[in-house]
């Protein structure tokens, strides 16, 4: 494309033409040219041109397709706010840890990428990152599930949620138990879906009772729901999926953040003030609790997480109901 033609596209805010031009640049793998186009669009935005989406799309393609050294330059905190996902997650989806590691200097980004690559199967040492960023082990534990990860493509992204395809049975609920004051576990459950109710148009409710999960659900209002008992691993998968999501309009937080949120719920449910040094037994401890996925049975659509946790020994239960829609 000639210089005059490119200038015309930018000055005319021709988004379709600029996107086609980016496709061509990427097919030729001319990354310096793509960076130059990004810079020119950002300058044009300052003059009132409506090409900010093109600049963001250029950075998305750099994170996804450029060599690791170049991809790392657009993976800083705060970049790509309106991209299909956080650019550190986009870049980590397509570049191994050993390729990216030498170029990641921001501690938060380095830690998030490391956790993402560990979830995707890379071997990452705890000593390679600041472990306090997420506060959970970077290495996957044997009792954890295979977490669903984002699938980023040049023109789209997919966020698998297979856990929602699980079959449930209808249950008539007993009389409600008296709700108790919110506690740390209630806070952890609400935080899983915070972008849904804080940055989007979703709604979330949590309740704890001295009783069963069914009595806790009834305290939220429903008389009859669909419900299934699940393993701790299945519950962790569902919570991590929700914690990673931004819902309908919130910003996606990424799978590592979702996994960390699920760990917070788990440790609160087990009565720990913090994650213990030896986490090998947490899976067995979690199996002594009751974990339930449920839904009110109507067509929910959009984003939803309905989960219950019960401690049979202490006779207490916690239930979260969270939904968001486009």
The H or E element spanning position 33 is: helix 31-46
Dihedral sign from CA coordinates of 126, 120, 260, 244:
positive
Which residues share a beta bridge with 226?
170, 295
pLDDT of residue 39: 96
Average pLDDT of the residues in 147-158:
94
Q: What is the pLDDT of residues 274-283, one digit of tens each?
A: 999 899 999 9
162, pLDDT greater than 80: no
Q: What is the pLDDT of residues 210-264, one digit of tens each?
A: 999 999 999 999 999 999 999 999 999 999 999 999 988 888 999 999 999 999 9
Taking a C-beta distance cutoff of 8 angstroms, is the pair 269, 252 a contact?
A: no
110, pLDDT greater than 90: yes
pLDDT of residue 250: 87
pLDDT of residue 165: 79
Three-state secondary-structure class, residue 273? coil
Average pLDDT of the residues in 266-294:
96
pTM, to two decimals: 0.94
Q: What is the pLDDT of residues 81-104, one digit of tens each?
A: 778 899 999 999 999 999 999 999
Average pLDDT of the residues in 300-322:
93
Q: What is the pLDDT of residues 188-202, one digit of tens each?
A: 999 999 999 998 889
pLDDT of residue 160: 83
**Running DSSP on this structure, what letter comes out for residue 86?**
-
326, pLDDT greater than 70: no
Q: How confident is the model at residue 49 (pLDDT cuts 50, 70, 90)?
A: very high
pLDDT of residue 301: 64
290, pLDDT greater than 90: yes
Domain ranges for the chain: 3-155, 162-324
Within 10 A of 85 (CB to CB), how many other CB atoms are there? 24
**What radius of gyration do the chain's Cα atoms show?**
22
Determine the distance from the C-alpha atom of residue 281 to the mean position of all C-alpha atoms in its chain, rounded to a whole number. Answer: 26
User: In terms of Cα–Cα distance, which of 94, 23, 29 is closest to 64?
Assistant: 94
Which residue has better confidence, 37 or 303? 37
78, pLDDT greater than 90: no
pLDDT of residue 214: 98
pLDDT of residue 116: 98
């Amino acid at each position: 494309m000639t210089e005059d033609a490119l200038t015309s596209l930018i000055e005319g805010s021709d988004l379709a033409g600029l996107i086609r031009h980016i496709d061509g640049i990427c097919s030729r793998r001319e990354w310096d040219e793509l960076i130059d186009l990004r810079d020119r669009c950002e300058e044009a935005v300052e003059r009132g041109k409506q090409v900010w989406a093109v600049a963001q799309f250029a950075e998305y393609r750099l994170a996804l397709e450029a060599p690791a050294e170049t991809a790392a330059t657009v993976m800083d905190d705060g970049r790509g706010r309106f991209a299909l996902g956080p650019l550190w997650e986009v870049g980590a989806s397509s570049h191994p840890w050993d390729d990216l590691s030498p170029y990641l200097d921001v501690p938060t980004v380095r830690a998030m990428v490391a956790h993402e690559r560990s979830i995707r199967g890379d071997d990452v040492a705890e000593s390679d990152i600041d472990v306090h960023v997420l506060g959970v082990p970077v290495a996957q534990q044997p009792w954890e599930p295979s977490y669903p990860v984002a699938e980023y493509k040049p023109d789209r992204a997919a966020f698998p949620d297979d856990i929602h395809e699980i079959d449930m049975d209808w249950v008539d609920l007993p009389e409600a138990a008296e709700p108790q004051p919110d506690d740390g576990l209630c806070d952890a459950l609400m935080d899983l879906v915070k972008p849904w109710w804080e940055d989007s148009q979703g709604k979330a409710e949590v309740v704890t009772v001295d009783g069963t999960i069914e009595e806790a659900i009834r305290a939220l209002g429903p008389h009859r729901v669909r419900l299934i008992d699940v393993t701790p691993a299945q519950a962790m998968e569902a919570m991590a999926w929700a914690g990673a999501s931004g819902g309908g309009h919130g910003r996606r937080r990424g799978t590592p953040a979702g996994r960390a949120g699920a760990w917070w719920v788990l440790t609160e449910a087990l009565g720990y003030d913090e994650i213990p040094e030896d986490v090998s037994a947490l899976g067995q401890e979690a199996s002594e609790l009751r974990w339930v996925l449920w839904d009110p049975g109507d067509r929910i659509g959009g984003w939803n997480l309905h989960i219950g946790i019960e401690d049979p020994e202490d006779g207490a239960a916690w239930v979260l109901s969270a939904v968001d829609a486009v």
